[in-house]
Structure 1
Amino acid sequence: MKSDTHPDYHQVVFRDQAAGYAFLTRSTASSDTTIEWDDGQTYPVIDVEISSESHPFYTGKARVVDSEGQIAKFRRRYESPTPDDVLHTGPDAEPTPEDVVLASGRDLTEANLAWAREQIAAEGRSALDRRLP
């Protein structure tokens, strides 16, 4: 090996401030602060904020933020509701004029509500069973 081409690779103690845990390993990192280790020798110490002892993933305390899938989230946000999603009446009840208008894809205006009342009077529940013009 050529001399002066590789960094100094030596033993260093990494100390996790959050968990109060320290471990001895080899590294090229250096520090002016030292610590006496269990074997009686003195090593440079590098303080870190998080390690495998305090990281939520490794400790099992990780939280799942995304409770629904990305596809479901996309559909909920961008798909228009189906007539079944916006109906006010149950499957066996008499439809309301609002339900017939929404099922037909029309706007909730007074003229469309009057039209829906006529459809309900003429056809009853079947006014909802098909897509109206």
Structure 2
Amino acid sequence: MAALLLHAYELGDMINRSAEVAEYAYWKAVVDQDEQVQQVVRRFEKAKELFTETERFGRFHPDYNEAKDKVRAIQAELTTIESVSRFKQAEDAVDTLLFDVASQIAGSISDTIKVPSNAPVKGGGCGSGGSCSCGSGGCG
């Protein structure tokens, strides 16, 4: 068991040294230091808070659609910022790397082992009217 854990730590270290993780860390730092992004994120958090309040009553709340549209508009504005879109691409690349590694490990044990993925499921996930928990916590 100790040897297996040692190999798992080595694999983790190799993943941390990968180009995908380096790209992710770079764009995360850029996003974290970008004042424009931080301003839009603050506006997004306020809009999301208002939407959460209206969501308790659902579409029957008089401001529900307006609050939902505002959240989506601010989220769309965020995605137009280059550092955010690059960060999302880097995040997807790391997710793909981790999924590929997990799939390889699971496949070497059995073809029937399921590997979790962040890919949206048909009929659910982002954009299907579900909860506001996809990606960076936004509605979409």
Q: TM-score, normalised by structure 1?
A: 0.24
Higher share of residues assigned helix: 2
Higher share of residues assigned strand: 1
The answer to which structure, 1 or 2, has the higher relative contact order (CA under 8 A, 6+ apart) is 2
